[in-house]
Amino acid sequence: MPHPLSPLGLAHTLLSLPPVIAGVASFIRHRRIDPATRWGQVYLAGLALSVVTSFGLSSVQGVNPGHVLGVLALLAAFAGAWLLPRWRALGRLQPHLQSHLQNFGLSFSFFMLLVPGLNETLTRLPAGAPLATGPDDPVVRGALLAWLLLFVVGFVLQTRAQRRRG
């Protein structure tokens, strides 16, 4: 295997799977990540554990882009799950924008969670002959572009569904 996992890398990988599963399940069941549901709570707790364990991992000295993406994902999730529902600065627009902003923050955190995950998966699997050689590989870039497009289309669909529900 070209990039063997350390014990912390293995723990990080295992801790990163529950938020992905919970996020997908929440999108399927509720069409969004809802922090008031069990899936939403598992997602938020798993996201925090995934990001915290990532800080011990780096192929370069110091902070790497994956760490920055993890912090951005945590900030987006925190803003979407906790801050925006309590933020009164929007005045009369609060009821109309709150759910959209909350959905964006949590959906964006899910998007950010999988950016380094896609790169790591494509550069490690299959074990004997990974699909990509690194973040600049066309396979990784194509997968990230597809993931970005899926995020944009998904958020547009979420917003339309919210408007229909009132």
pLDDT of residue 2: 52
Q: Is the pLDDT of residue 59 over 90?
A: no
pLDDT (tens digit, 9 = 90+) per residue, 24-40?
999 999 989 989 999 99
Q: Is the pLDDT of residue 60 over 70?
A: no
Taking the chain, what is the end-to-end CA distance rounded to the nearest angstrom? Answer: 52
Taking alpha carbons only, the member of 46, 3, 2 closest to residue 21 is 46
- Split at pLDDT 50, 70, 90, the class of 1 is very low
The model's pTM is 0.86
- Going from the C-alpha of 19 to that of each of 51, 152, 162, the distances in angstroms are 11, 20, 23
**Average pLDDT over every residue of 14-29:** 95
* Rounded-to-integer distance, Cα 123 and Cα 64, Å: 17
- Split at pLDDT 50, 70, 90, the class of 163 is confident
* Rounded-to-integer distance, Cα 113 and Cα 134, Å: 18
Taking alpha carbons only, the member of 72, 140, 60 closest to residue 110 is 72
pLDDT of residue 3: 56
- Split at pLDDT 50, 70, 90, the class of 43 is very high
